[in-house]
């Protein structure tokens, strides 16, 4: 048997390319033993149950990427990098951050990222580092898309409800193409089931003829950016035809009178005209929705990165609430989690800070809203570059690539260069790492324990602590270790306290719990660095220290059982509180395919209990947003004459995933980087598929090849997400495929409320450069 064959083995893990995180069975091996050779769906995963899509097959391009880093790097004065030891890097990074803290205050250090897609464990540990430094402001990818939605959900429900598409009679997809972007377990299977079932229906609001739109019952192919008008028309149809659920409204909501008064007089035909939708089609789709026993709605980047983003989040919720689609099977329900990403993201800003501007939850320079503790990504460059005493002076960037991902890459590069100190923690030499003062190489998501804090399902919630399936790339460290080393170097975690708890841990978990409680009572400041304290102490007893980074889950499991005893009991975690918490933690450690940690049973009305609002009443009238709903502004839709086309900068397609796969050599024919254009526009510009074109916006320009397709709507062009990255190919040569979308976007074009970018509505023009 060859050496290569001997190294081959299947192991449990999951896909990290979208929020569904399907369970995978991965055959590892290859020359180094560290490759992901063959990838199948894991039938033992309680959430995905063997499901996966085509994208997972490309994960080895992430794992074995040529620009993975294997040593810490320090930038020299000429801009080039030199390798340094870990010891040197940790000392110098801690000193650099401390210097900024001592000169300007910890609140002048910005934290960006904290765990990537499918890898949230690093974020847990980074929290300790932030607290040790007094960091108050942070941001991450959620503030590029979801913050408006979070704010609306929090205000209306006191929680984040999610649809139940598996059981919904009518499913509505708003600026979302779930066939390609998924968003809930077993997506394609469920979409096929809906489209085959004559008793169910699918409504899609999308300017493009997406794969999902093709199998829908009602495709409302609206003019880009007009979702708020289309949704207003649908709400008005419900109200003017008296299709609302009156019993539900009177029992469970407040503010319907104001909603009714406005929508009862709305000119439905005029609003359909603005959206360029057929009134009859909108009416039929709305009646189907209003008369269904259950409806679930999913909004995504098509609207969240578009004009009126937060208003659309509000309007779609009004629509499903007035039709009574909440807290029932097949509708929106509120799940539970061990620790949610938004909880983990809150930081000090939303919690208990005392400074005047922090109490108001606004950013230090521009005074923008801080939602779930996150600054709007679009404003980070200005928060650094503005000549203001409270501007950010340093940044810690973990598993995030703002130079590529945030609007106006050129300005973001300038902002990075203006910082007094910056450090990037990442697996690869990204565009952002390439400007940082220090770069600390992290192990990949398949080389360490990892997990996801998206547990939005209902009534059962699953959790998977993924185990490492290949050896770490030599020279890298896991984020838990990196953050803990920095915390120790800063003096926020003392060897004595670790030693006391280590000794107790050796005597058993009961002894550890007693010592842990006593120590925290005596030294409450250790709460700030709790994950690292657990990692260094209890962690050393978990699988001989090999599973040390899972130690914080010991506290989280006990906390979950205390707060949600019935749900934990239903999931099999019975006995005393201590026994149930211990059982859950042991199950978590020993279930590489994941496990069900919470089961709400069959009573969907438990969703009411999960609303944090004491009165359990849904708030329909939000005074912060309703005036804008009543005054939708069509001037926002106007494009300058010289940029007559509307560009989607970062379309999710079948071929593309996200930027963690930097090496695009899986795309042998380079088809993925095409600019999509409708035949009507292509004819006018005499462009054919394959022609090289130049695309320009008010911010920048780029070149790629065109693909003429009726999938687009006339006047509407698109570029894919996840491309335009610099990477090295297998010969070590630098390659750049496609256009980086944010070389074309502007940070000024953003939602008035949440500051989320209008990446899906960028005025643009194109010119043909050559004939194919
Ligand atoms: S990209 Fe596909 S395989 Fe990966 S998590 Fe998403 S749906 Fe699953």
Q: Is the CB of 55 within 6 Å of ligand 1?
A: yes
Residue 5: its pLDDT value, please? 52
User: How far is Cα 91 from Cα 94, in angstroms, rounded to an integer?
Assistant: 5
Residue 452: its pLDDT value, please? 86
Q: Cβ–Cβ contacts within 10 Å for residue 770, how many?
A: 10
Q: Is the CB of 186 within 6 Å of ligand 1?
A: no
And the tokens for 481?
Answer: 């270790």
Cα–ligand 1 centroid distance for 659 (angstroms): 15
Cα–ligand 1 centroid distance for 182 (angstroms): 7
The whole-number average pLDDT for the span 232-252 is 98
In tens, the pLDDT along 185-234 reads: 999 999 999 999 999 999 999 999 999 999 999 999 999 999 999 999 99
Q: Is the CB of 39 within 6 Å of ligand 1?
A: no
Cα–ligand 1 centroid distance for 20 (angstroms): 6
Binning pLDDT at 50, 70 and 90, where does residue 668 land? confident
DSSP string, 677-702: E-HHHHHHTT--TT-EEEEEESS-EE
The whole-number average pLDDT for the span 402-422 is 96
Cα–ligand 1 centroid distance for 183 (angstroms): 9
Q: Is the pLDDT of residue 3 over 80?
A: no
Binning pLDDT at 50, 70 and 90, where does residue 6 land? low
Q: Is the CB of 52 within 6 Å of ligand 1?
A: yes
Looking at beta carbons, which pairs linking 194-200 to residues 24 or more positions away fall under 8 Å?
Answer: 194/165, 194/168, 199/169, 200/168, 200/169, 200/170, 200/171
Q: Cβ–Cβ contacts within 10 Å for residue 376, how many?
A: 28
Ligand 1 site-directed mutation target among 55, 165, 450, most atoms within 8 Å of CB: 55
The pairing of beta strand 716-720 with beta strand 645-651: parallel
Percent of the chain whose pLDDT exceeds 90: 84
And the tokens for 491?
Answer: 């003096």
User: How far is Cα 404 from Cα 658, in angstroms, rounded to an integer?
Assistant: 11
Q: Which atom of ligand 1 is nearest to the CA of 21?
A: 5
CATH of 163-332+622-628, one of 3.40.50.720, 3.90.1150.10, 3.30.43.10, 3.40.228.10: 3.40.228.10
In tens, the pLDDT along 115-167 reads: 877 888 999 999 999 999 999 999 999 999 999 999 999 999 988 899 999 99
User: How far is Cα 739 from Cα 721, in angstroms, rounded to an integer?
Assistant: 9
Ligand 1 site-directed mutation target among 13, 18, 19, 54, most atoms within 8 Å of CB: 18
Is there a contact between 694 and 769 (Cβ–Cβ < 8 Å)?
A: yes
Residue 478: its pLDDT value, please? 97
The whole-number average pLDDT for the span 385-404 is 97
Cβ-in-10-Å burial (0-12, 13-18, 19+) of 561 comes to buried
In tens, the pLDDT along 470-521 reads: 999 999 999 999 999 999 999 999 999 999 999 999 999 999 999 999 999 9
| 3-class SS string, 400-411 | CCHHHHCCCHHH
Is there a contact between 595 and 567 (Cβ–Cβ < 8 Å)?
A: no
Helix (H, G, I), strand (E, B) or coil at 287: helix
Binning pLDDT at 50, 70 and 90, where does residue 662 land? confident
Q: Is the CB of 21 within 6 Å of ligand 1?
A: yes
In tens, the pLDDT along 693-722 reads: 999 999 999 999 999 999 999 999 999 988
Nearest to 440 by CA among 394, 475, 484, 403: 475
Q: Is the CB of 18 within 6 Å of ligand 1?
A: yes
Residue 367: its pLDDT value, please? 94
Q: Is the pLDDT of residue 347 over 70?
A: no
Q: Is the pLDDT of residue 602 over 90?
A: no
Binning pLDDT at 50, 70 and 90, where does residue 771 land? low
Q: Is the CB of 760 within 6 Å of ligand 1?
A: no
The residues spanned by each domain of the chain are 3-63, 73-144+339-458+460-599, 163-332+622-628, 639-770
DSSP string, 2-48: -HHHHT-EEEEEE--SSTT--EEEEEEESSSS-EEEEEEE-TT-TTT
- DSSP class of residue 760 equals T
Q: Is the pLDDT of residue 348 over 90?
A: no
Q: Is the CB of 182 within 6 Å of ligand 1?
A: yes
What does residue 532 show for φ and ψ, rounded to 5 degrees? -70, -35
Residue 360: its pLDDT value, please? 56
CATH number of 639-770: 2.40.40.20
Q: Is the pLDDT of residue 434 over 90?
A: yes
For domain 73-144+339-458+460-599, give the fold. Answer: Rossmann fold (3.40.50)
Residue 342: its pLDDT value, please? 56
Q: Is the CB of 15 within 6 Å of ligand 1?
A: yes
Cα–ligand 1 centroid distance for 53 (angstroms): 5
Residue 457: its pLDDT value, please? 78
Binning pLDDT at 50, 70 and 90, where does residue 727 land? confident
> How confident is the prediction for the chain on average, in pLDDT?
93
Cα–ligand 1 centroid distance for 397 (angstroms): 26
Binning pLDDT at 50, 70 and 90, where does residue 463 land? very high
CATH number of 3-63: 3.30.200.210
Q: Is the pLDDT of residue 4 over 70?
A: no
What does residue 351 show for φ and ψ, rounded to 5 degrees? -95, -85
Binning pLDDT at 50, 70 and 90, where does residue 345 land? very low
In tens, the pLDDT along 714-725 reads: 999 999 988 888
Is there a contact between 673 and 704 (Cβ–Cβ < 8 Å)?
A: yes
Q: Is the CB of 24 within 6 Å of ligand 1?
A: no
Which residue is closest in CA terms to ligand 1's atom 6? 18
Residue 772: its pLDDT value, please? 46
Binning pLDDT at 50, 70 and 90, where does residue 659 land? confident
Nearest to 697 by CA among 762, 649, 759, 648: 762
Q: Is the CB of 530 within 6 Å of ligand 1?
A: no
């Amino acid at each position: 048997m060859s050496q290569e064959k001997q190294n081959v083995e299947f192991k449990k893990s999951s896909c990290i390319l979208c929020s569904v995180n399907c369970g995978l069975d991965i055959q590892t091996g290859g020359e180094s033993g560290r490759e992901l050779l063959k990838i199948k769906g894991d039938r033992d995963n309680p959430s995905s149950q063997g499901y996966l899509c085509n994208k997972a097959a490309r994960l080895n391009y992430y794992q074995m990427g040529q620009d993975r880093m294997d040593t810490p790097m320090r930038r020299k004065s000429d801009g080039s990098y030199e390798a340094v030891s870990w010891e040197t890097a940790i000392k110098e990074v801690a000193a650099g951050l401390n210097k900024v803290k001592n000169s300007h205050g910890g609140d002048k250090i910005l934290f960006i990222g904290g765990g990537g897609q499918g890898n949230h464990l690093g974020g847990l540990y980074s929290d300790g580092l932030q607290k040790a430094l007094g960091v108050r402001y942070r941001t991450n990818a959620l503030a590029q898309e979801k913050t408006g939605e979070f704010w609306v959900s929090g205000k209306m429900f006191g929680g984040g409800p999610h649809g139940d598409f598996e059981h919904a009679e009518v499913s509505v997809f708003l600026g979302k193409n779930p066939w390609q972007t998924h968003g809930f377990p077993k997506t394609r299977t469920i979409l096929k089931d809906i489209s085959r079932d004559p008793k169910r229906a699918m409504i899609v609001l999308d300017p493009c003829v997406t794969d999902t739109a093709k199998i829908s019952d009602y495709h409302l192919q609206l003019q880009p950016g007009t979702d708020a008008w289309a949704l207003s028309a649908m709400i008005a149809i419900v109200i003017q035809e008296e299709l609302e659920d009156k019993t539900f409204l009177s029992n469970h909501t407040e503010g319907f009178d104001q909603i009714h008064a406005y929508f009862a007089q709305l000119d439905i035909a005029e609003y359909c005209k603005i959206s360029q939708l057929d009134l009859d089609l909108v009416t039929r789709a709305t009646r189907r929705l209003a008369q269904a026993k259950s409806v679930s709605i999913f909004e995504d980047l098509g609207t969240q990165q578009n004009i009126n983003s937060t208003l659309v989040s509000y309007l779609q919720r009004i629509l499903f609430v007035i039709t009574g689609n909440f807290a029932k099977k097949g509708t929106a329900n509120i799940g539970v989690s061990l620790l949610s990403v938004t909880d983990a993201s809150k930081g000090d800003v939303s919690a208990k800070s005392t400074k005047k501007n922090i109490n108001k939850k606004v950013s230090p320079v521009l005074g923008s809203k801080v939602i779930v503790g996150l600054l709007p990504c679009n404003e980070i460059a200005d928060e650094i570059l503005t000549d203001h005493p409270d501007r950010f002076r340093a940044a810690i960037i973990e598993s995030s690539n703002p130079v590529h991902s945030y609007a106006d890459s050129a300005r973001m590069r300038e902002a990075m260069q203006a910082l007094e100190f910056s450090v990037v923690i990442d697996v690869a030499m990204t565009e952002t790492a390439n400007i940082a003062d220090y770069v600390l190489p992290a192990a990949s998501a398949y080389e360490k324990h990892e997990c996801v804090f998206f547990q939005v399902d209902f009534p059962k919630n699953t959790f998977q602590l993924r185990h490492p399936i290949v050896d770490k790339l030599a020279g890298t460290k896991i984020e838990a270790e990196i953050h803990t080393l920095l915390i120790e170097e800063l003096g926020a975690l003392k060897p004595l306290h670790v030693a006391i708890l280590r000794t107790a841990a050796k005597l058993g978990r009961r002894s550890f719990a007693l010592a842990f409680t006593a120590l925290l009572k005596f030294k409450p400041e250790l709460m700030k660095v709790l994950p690292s304290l657990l990692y260094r102490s209890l962690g050393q007893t978990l699988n001989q220290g090999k599973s040390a980074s899972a130690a914080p889950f010991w506290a989280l499991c006990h906390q979950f059982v205390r707060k949600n005893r019935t749900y934990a009991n239903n999931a099999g975690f019975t006995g005393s509180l201590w026994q149930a918490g211990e059982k859950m933690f042991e199950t978590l450690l020993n279930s590489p395919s994941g496990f069900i940690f919470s089961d709400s049973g069959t009573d969907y009305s438990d969703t009411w209990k999960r609303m944090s609002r004491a009165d359990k009443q849904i708030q329909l009238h939000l005074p912060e947003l309703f005036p804008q709903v009543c005054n939708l502004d069509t001037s926002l839709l106007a494009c300058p004459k010289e940029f007559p086309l509307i560009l989607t900068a970062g379309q999710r397609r079948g071929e593309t995933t996200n930027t963690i796969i930097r090496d695009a050599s899986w795309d042998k024919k380079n088809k993925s980087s095409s600019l999509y254009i409708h035949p009507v526009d292509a004819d006018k510009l005499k462009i054919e598929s394959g022609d090289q074109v130049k695309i320009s916006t008010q911010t920048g320009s780029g070149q790629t090849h065109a693909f003429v397709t009726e999938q687009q709507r006339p006047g509407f062009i698109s570029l894919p997400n996840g491309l335009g990255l610099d990477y090295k190919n297998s010969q070590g040569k630098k390659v750049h495929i496609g256009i980086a979308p944010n070389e074309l976007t502007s940070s000024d074009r953003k939602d008035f409320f949440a500051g989320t970018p209008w990446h899906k509505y960028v005025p643009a023009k194109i010119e043909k450069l050559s004939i194919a």
